[in-house]
Structure 1
Amino acid sequence: MLEVRNLQIRHRDGEAALVEDVSFAIREGELFALVGESGSGKSITALAIMRLLDAGFERPSGEAWLAGREGRQELLGLPSAVMQHVRGDRVGMIFQEPMTSLNPVLKVGDQIEEVLRLHRPQMSPEQRAARTLEVLSEVQLPNPEQRRDEYPHKLSGGQRQRVMIAMALVAEPDLLIADEPTTALDVTIQAEILKLIDHLREKNGMAVLLITHDFGVVASVADRVAVMRQGRLVEQGECLPLLRAPQDAYTRKLIQALPENLPPLPPVPGAGREALLQVSGLQVHFPVLKGLMRRQVDVVRAVDDVSFELENGEVLAVVGESGCGKTTLGRAILRLIEPTGGEIRYRGESLTHMARKPLRRLRRHLQVVFQDPASSLNPRLNVLTLLTEPMAVHGIGANQDERIALAGKVLDQVALPEDTLWRYPHEFSGGQRQRIAIARALVLDPDVIICDEVTSALDVSVQAEVLQILGRLRAERRLAMIFITHDMGVVEYFSDRMLVMHDGRMEEIGATAEVLANPQADYTRHLLDAVPRVSRYL
């Protein structure tokens, strides 16, 4: 269906090729996975095939032959007008972030019908409307008649992704390119989307190029796989044999970096354990206001009756799907969001109604690492200021020289060189920025750190490094952590206990190994069954 030969992509300002000598073929009805870390060249390979690279790139060299109902066409050399017909008609594409790919000022149905107006001009308005409704039903969007007339911002992430799939499939293409279609989705929605793509592939006989960095996803759906590194293909072949016995050292490194294959974390000394944090019946409710007078008509129970204890040196994983209340729980514990009810105690002292001034002093011992370091680190401040300013506020260090020395030691603990101090956040990769965010929490020598999805946006090898660093620091400092995540592989590897949340309520809590081996709640079983694991398929 698609044959790519010796593809090479260069940036106009750069000397080295971003993608060099890439060749692969996808058969009719096959799901071919292109795997690699961020910056490996996966997405720009797909964009080059679609002829969607911007003016900053040179015209790609090589060949990309597409077979199908209109015969063989070489896409890279097609005139622009012809290529516009190929895009959306013979080749559909699901982009990584649906919220930035969907037009916010057009209704969902209008955006899908636009594809048919361009590529099926012979269809009447009634036929286009019927086909739009049909494809929304095919992608299993709930209440398709209602959703067709809504704007993208009213849909959830999973629903927006289904709309993107509907747009890509409405003209029944020969080839579907799916660029990280499940990266930002919960495991249950991810499983549904993958099952949906696989079902539509079998039904329509189309080929699929799946771009991902998740080997669990690859093992669950791919027929063949190619591994990409720094713009080159290092290995390709049948999926399961390649995963069982990878030939290239880089592929082996990626597979070894999966949480299920990482070496054990250093143990935390058992002596001197004490309860640091006690949460009892915590509630966070948000009023729903309507009408001209903004009267309260309902209440959203974001967190409803959650209770647990946390000891020093312990990691409690809080897991659940988007919207279950995980992040709200973490923020309420720190009083970044005011609780509606319940009680929070730190070392026996109540934080629930503590005045702002004493609470601010106490926050030195209760720190947080947010999900996105790019937005939580001030871009105008260098790392030196980011680390020494909190120390100055809390009276740590006799002078600035002493604080700089302490900052250097903490950077060493998170495996960053001391010259990092003089640089700004934009000069670092995502994984390095996350280490800086961890260092900013550590400089205050806290007892508890709340980690909110700190590894969700990281490549598997960077995720492994961050988990190893946190595990070592936990053992050395006897740190307690609340680890908010939806990644069950990380939960199993890193946490002592796990708390499962659904619709703001606790489904169950217990030792991680026991909950994973014998979940008591139906929701927990549903969550675990949706997790794609490489070991399950090997």
Structure 2
Amino acid sequence: MLDVKDLTIRLTHQAEPLVQGVSFSIARGEMFCLVGESGSGKSLTALAVMGILDRGFEAPTGEVWLQGRGTPQNLLTLDEPALAGIRGDRIGMIFQEPMTSLNPVFTVGEQIMEVLRLHRPELEAKEVAARALEALVEVQLPSPAQRFHDFPHKLSGGQRQRVMIAMALVAEPELLIADEPTTALDVTIQAEILRLIDRLREKNGMSVLLITHDFGVVAQVGDRVAVMHRGKLVEQGSTGVVVHTPQHAYTRQLIRALPENLPPLPPVPVHDQVKLLEVDRLQVHFPVLKGLLRRPVDFIRAVEDVSFDLAAGEVLAVVGESGCGKTTLGRALLRLIEPTGGSVRYHGQAMETLGRKELRRLRRRLQVVFQDPASSLNPRLTVQTTLTEPMAAHGIGADDEERIALARAVLEQVAMPADTLWRYPHEFSGGQRQRIGIARALVLDPDVIICDEVTSALDVSVQAEILQILGRLRAERQLALIFITHNMGVVEYLSDRMLVMKAGRMEELGRTRDVIARPQADYTRRLLDAVPRVSDHVGRHAAAN
């Protein structure tokens, strides 16, 4: 179906190629996975196949042959009008972030109908509308007739991704390129989207190029897989062979970095554990205001009657889908959001009774690491200022020299070099910025750190480094962690207990190993069943081979 030969991509006026000598082929009806970490060249390869590289790139060299209907064509030799006739017709593409790919000023239906008007001009207006609505039904979008007239901002992330799939498939392409289509989605929605793509592939006899960094996803759905590293293909073959007997050192490194394959964390003494936090029936309600006078007519119950305690050195994972109240719970514990009801006690002291000064002093002991370090670190401050300012505010260190020494010691604990102090956040990778975010919390010597999705945007090898750093710090400092995440593999690896949330309420609370082995709530079972694991799959055709 697709035959890529010696594909090379360069930026204009740059000798070193970003993608070099990449060759692979995809058979009709095959699910071919292209896997690698951020910056490896996966998405650039897909953009070159589609002919939509930015102007800053030279024309790619090599060959990209599209087979199927009609005469085989080398896509790299076609002009723009010819490529425009192929895009959306013979090749469909799903992008990673549907909110930036969908036009916010057109309804969902209009955007799907546009594809048909362009590639199926012989269809009448009524037939175009009927085919567009049928596409939404096909991708199992809830209330498709209503959503047909909605704008993208009214849809959830999973629903927007279904619309993107409908747009990509409405003209019945021979090849679908899916670029990280499930990266930002909850595990249950990810499973639904993958099943949907696979079902449509089998139904339509379509080939799929699935770009991902998740080997669990590869093992679950892939027929064959190719591994990219620094712009080159380092290994390719049937999924079962590559996943379970990898030949290249980089492939082995990626698979070893999965949470299920990481070495055990250092043990934490359980004797004389002190209760740090006691949360009792915590509530956070947001009013729904309507009318000219903006009076409350209802409340959104973001957190409702949540209760738990946290001991020194313990890791409590808070898990659930987007919108379940995990992040709101974490912010309410720190009083970054004022609770509506219930109580939070730190060492037996009720936090809701504290004034601003007392609360500020207490926050030295209760810290947070946010999901996106790029937006939570001040871009105008050096790392030295970012780390020493909080210490000065809380009276830590006799002078700047002592605070800089303390900052340097904390950076060493999170495996960052000493010259980090004099650099700015934009000079670091995402994983390095996340380590700086952890260091900023650690410089105040806290008892509790709330980690809000701190590994969700990281590559698997960087995620492994962060998890092992947190595990080591927990053992060395008797540090308690509230780990907010939707990644069940991370939960199983790092946490002692887990709290499962749904629609603001607790569904289940217990020791992690017990909840995973014997979940009591149906919702917990559904979450666990949706987790893609390398150990559970060998690829569809590996067993046959």
Q: TM-score, normalised by structure 1?
A: 0.99
Output the CA distance in 2 between the equivalents of 1:5 and 1:523. Answer: 46
User: In structure 2, what is the Cα distance between the partners aligned to 1:313 and 1:365?
Assistant: 14
* Unpaired segments ≥5 residues, structure 1: none
SS of 2:122 mapped into structure 1: coil
Q: Does 1:259 align with 2:266?
A: no
| Cα distance in 1, alignment partners of residues 70 and 511 from structure 2 | 58
CA distance in 1, matches of 2:157, 2:449: 28
Query: Which residue number corresponds to residue 283 of structure 1?
Result: 283
Structure 2 distance, partners of 1:246, 1:88, is: 35
Distance in 2 separating the partners of 1:393 and 1:61: 57
SS at structure 1 position matched to 2:364:
helix
Alpha-carbon distance in 1 for matches of 2:37, 2:497: 30
Gaps of 5+ in 2: 539-545
Q: Alpha carbon RMSD of aligned pairs, Å? A: 0.7
Partner of residue 148, structure 1: 148
Match of 1:360?
A: 360
Corresponding position of 1:170: 170
2:70 match: 70
CA drift at 1:68: 1.4
Q: Which residue in 2 is equivalent to 1:117?
A: 117
Matched to 1:182, the amino acid is T
Question: Structure 1 residue 293: deviation in Å?
Answer: 2.3
Which residue matches 2:242?
Answer: 242
Give the equivalent residue in structure 2 for 1:347. 347
Counterpart residue identity of residue 101, structure 1: S
Structure 2 residue aligned with 1:336: 336
Partner-residue secondary structure (3-state), 1:352: helix
**Does residue 490 of structure 2 align to residue 482 of structure 1?**
no
**SS where residue 363 of structure 2 aligns?**
helix
Q: Give the 3-state SS of the residue equivalent to 1:384 in structure 2.
A: helix
Q: Distance in 1 between matches of 2:353 and 2:219?
A: 50
Distance (Å, rounded) in 2 between the aligned partners of 1:30 and 1:37? 23
SS in 1 for 2:62: strand
User: 1:427 — aligned with what?
Assistant: 427
Cα deviation for residue 361 of structure 1 reads: 0.9
TM-score (norm 2): 0.98
Question: What CA distance in whole angstroms lies between the structure 2 residues aligned with 1:374 and 1:13?
Answer: 29
Q: Does 1:298 align with 2:289?
A: no
Corresponding position of 1:203: 203
| Superposed displacement of residue 288, structure 1 | 1.0
Query: Following TM superposition, by how much is the alpha carbon of 1:298 offset from its aligned partner in structure 2, in angstroms?
Result: 1.6
Q: How far apart, CA to CA, are the structure 2 residues paired with 1:277 and 1:70?
A: 68
Query: 1:272 deviation in Å?
Result: 3.2
Who is 1:59 aligned against?
A: 59
Q: Residue 153 of structure 1: CA displacement? A: 0.6
Q: 1: distance between equivalents of 2:324 and 2:489?
A: 19
| C-alpha distance in 2 between matches for 1:466 and 1:385 | 23
Could you say what secondary structure the match of 2:308 adopts?
strand
Which residue type is aligned with residue 222 of structure 2?
A: A
Q: For residue 374 of structure 1, what is the aligned residue in structure 2?
A: 374
Q: Give the CA deviation at 1:122.
A: 1.0
- 2:442 aligns with 442
Secondary structure of the residue that 2:18 maps to in structure 1? strand
Pair 1:274-2:274 in alignment: yes
CA distance in 1, matches of 2:91, 2:386: 47
Partner of 1:194: 194
Give, in whole Å, the separation in 1 of the partners of 2:505 and 2:160: 26
User: How does 1:24-43 map onto structure 2 within 5 Å?
Assistant: 24-43=24-43
* Cα offsets for 1:372-419 (capped at 9, x unmatched): 000100111110110001111111000000000000000000000000
Identity of aligned residues (%): 74
Deviations 1:492-520 (A, max 9, x none): 00000000000000001000000000000
Structure 2 counterpart of 1:441, which letter? A
Residue deviations 1:26-69, cap 9 Å, x none?
Answer: 00000000000000000000001111111111110001000112
Q: Distance in 2 between matches of 1:512 and 1:481?
A: 14
Match of 1:454, SS state, is coil
Deviation of 1:273 after TM superposition, in Å, equals: 1.1
Task: Give the distance between the partners of 1:218 and 1:87, measured in 2 at CA.
Answer: 25
Structure 1 runs of 4+ aligned residues shifted over 4 Å read none
Give, in angstroms, the shift of residue 269 of structure 1. Answer: 1.9
Amino acid in structure 2 at the alignment position of 1:92:
G
Report the counterpart of residue 108 of structure 1 in structure 2. Answer: 108
1:15 to partner: Cα distance: 2.1
Q: Secondary structure, in 3 states, of the residue corresponding to 1:84? A: helix
Residues of 2 paired with 1:297 and 1:106: CA distance? 31
Count the aligned residue pairs: 538
| Alignment match, 2:541 | none
Deviations 1:180-219 (A, max 9, x none): 0000000000000000000000011110000000001000
**Residue correspondence of structure 1 range 431-470 to structure 2 within 5 A:** 431-470=431-470
Which residue in 2 is equivalent to 1:319? 319
Aligned twin of 1:137? 137
- The CA distance in 1 between the partners of 2:289 and 2:113, in whole Å, is 35
Report the secondary structure of 1:364's partner residue: coil
1:92 matched to 2:92? The reply is yes
Shift of 1:292: 2.2
What is the CA–CA distance in structure 1 between the aligned matches of 2:503 and 2:477, rounded to whole Å? 34
Aligned partners of 2:111 and 2:489: how far apart in 1? Answer: 37
Which residue pairs with 1:417 in the alignment? 417
Q: How many angstroms does 1:241 deviate by?
A: 1.5
Q: 2:11 and 2:383 mapped to 1: Cα distance?
A: 30
**2-structure distance, mates of 1:311, 1:149:** 51
Deviations 1:427-477 (A, max 9, x none): 000000000000000000000000000001100000000000000000000
Structure 2 partner of 1:501: 501
Q: Which amino acid aligns with 2:152?
A: P
The residue type equivalent to 1:69 in the other structure is R
2:508 and 2:96 mapped to 1: Cα distance? 33
AA matched with 2:297: V
Distance of 1:354 and 1:137 partners within structure 2: 53
Q: Mapping of 1:8-47 within 5 angstroms? A: 8-47=8-47
Distance 2:97 2:329 in 1: 26
Task: Using the TM superposition, give the Cα deviation of residue 79 of structure 1 relative to its aligned residue in structure 2, in angstroms.
Answer: 1.0
Q: Specify the alignment match of 1:126 in structure 2.
A: 126
Report the Cα offset of residue 154 of structure 1: 0.6
Greater alpha carbon shift after TM alignment, 23-32 vs 62-71: 62-71
Give the CA deviation at 1:271: 3.2
CA separation in 1, counterparts of 2:117 and 2:291?
Answer: 39
Pairwise CA distance, 1:296: 1.8
Q: CA deviation at 1:14?
A: 2.3
**Post-superposition shift, 1:13?**
3.8
- Cα distance, 1:356 vs structure 2: 1.2
